[in-house]
Structure 1
Amino acid sequence: VQVIADAAGRLVWASAALPASTHDLTAARTHAIIDALTSTDVMTFTDKGYQGAPGSVRTPFKRRRFRPKLSRRQKAVNRAHAKIRARGERAIATLKTWKILTKLRCCPHRATAIVQAILVLHRVEANRHAG
């Protein structure tokens, strides 16, 4: 499941589930997430699994096999990137607090329905506490 969070770390959108073996970048392309974010020029901070994504998608620097260490500048950029991404990770952690997802073993179609229901319940709960 691909998740999009706002700048405050709140869940905004969750994709349909794909088989667990699907790579992150492939899943994002399948759901046309990258094209949508790039066409609207939304700056997006992702993990290293999205390395090579075009447009406004930002990934941290990745150490290569023949490059033993990242430069000081690259490490500083990665630290700043991680601070921003922590907000998105908070949204994923919110999703994972739902006990039903801890041992979910079913087809992607059923998992999609469960995740979408959780997203709706999460929004209802958030709106109830917002006042």
Structure 2
Amino acid sequence: MLFYRASLPLSRQTLTYATGVIRRHRKTIGSKGRALPPGTQALMTLVYLRKGETFAELAAGFAVSTSTAWRYVNEAVDALAARSPKLDSVLRRARADRLPYLILDGTLVAIDRLAADRPFYSGKHHRHGMNLQVLSAPDGALLWVSGELRGAVHDLTAARIWGLIRALAAAGLLVLADKAYQGAGEHIVTPYKGRGKPESQKDANRSHARLRGPGERANAQLKTWKVLRRLRCCPFRTGRIAKAIHTLQLREAASC
């Protein structure tokens, strides 16, 4: 097997933060005698999330067993995910900041599944995956990401399952979303549907698209971390991985 040096496009502050999270977690559970120190475990986790390397590749690069790499990464991901922004606090902050509107969108994280795994198949995206719901600010900044649901779940159904529709209505915030969310309520504005629309509705749809467009940036922020481009682990870890990435993304933005 050949080895080589590689760089990771993340700041030193992000590594320091992840190291602190892992160190505090180890102290909480009273863990001793680990194969890797907290800083190296944090670096391994960042490599996994940012570069999407397999556990076998991580194990070879950090000179541990594959099972140890799997256990260390999952432990760190869970600790980071627990620190991701919660929906209630995000909505309170949005009201305090007087944001004119929020952008709601769904994204599909591709997974390794066969054609027989129908519940994971998204008819919208024509691939197997897991559904995530994402809230972003008008400038496209990622505010909140949900847990995972099977890809066959419709975006509107997913938003209802996670309590998004009810929470947004209670917060009194205006939300822009695509046609998949039609029928969610008056506080969620979607484009007009159908052919042969009058020019006024076409103009409204164009304006809606311009305002909602930056919301795609939030999904793009998540998928700059290559692990979410095609997930090769248990699909029911998708939400925790996305939340851990959001935690790190906030720390990375703060260091810029």
Q: 2:154 aligns with which of 18, 23, 26?
A: 23
Other-structure match for 1:92: 219
CA distance in 2 between counterparts of 1:95 and 1:74 reads 32
Other structure's SS at 1:84 match: helix
Aligned residue identity for 1:11: L
Other-structure match for 1:112: 239
Aligned partners of 1:42 and 1:56 also within 8 Å: yes
Asked if 1:126 corresponds to 2:253, the answer is yes
CA distance in 2 between counterparts of 1:106 and 1:37 reads 32
Other structure's SS at 2:173 match: coil
Aligned residue identity for 1:97: T
Aligned partners of 2:138 and 2:212 also within 8 Å: no
- Gap change, CA 1:77 and 1:101, over 3 Å in 2: same
Aligned residue identity for 2:183: G
CA distance in 2 between counterparts of 1:108 and 1:99 reads 15
Give per-residue Cα distances to partners, 1:16-62, cap 9 Å, x unaligned: 01001100000000001011111111110001110111131000011
Aligned partners of 1:4 and 1:12 also within 8 Å: yes
CA distance in 1 between counterparts of 2:239 and 2:212 reads 24
- The structure with more radius of gyration: 2
CA distance in 2 between counterparts of 1:106 and 1:21 reads 19
Contiguous gaps of at least 5 residues in structure 2:
1-131
Aligned partners of 1:46 and 1:59 also within 8 Å: yes
Q: How many residues align?
A: 125
Aligned residue identity for 1:121: L
Per the normalisation by structure 2, the TM-score is: 0.47
Asked if 1:9 corresponds to 2:136, the answer is no
Structure 1 consecutive aligned stretches of length 4 or more whose deviation exceeds 6 Å: none
CA distance in 1 between counterparts of 2:225 and 2:201 reads 36
- Gap change, CA 1:107 and 1:20, over 3 Å in 2: farther
Q: 1:72 aligns with which of 190, 199, 220?
A: 199
Other-structure match for 1:82: 209
Q: CA RMSD in A?
A: 1.2
Give per-residue Cα distances to partners, 1:66-125, cap 9 Å, x unaligned: xx4111011100000001101211111111221111111444431111101110111000
Other structure's SS at 2:139 match: coil
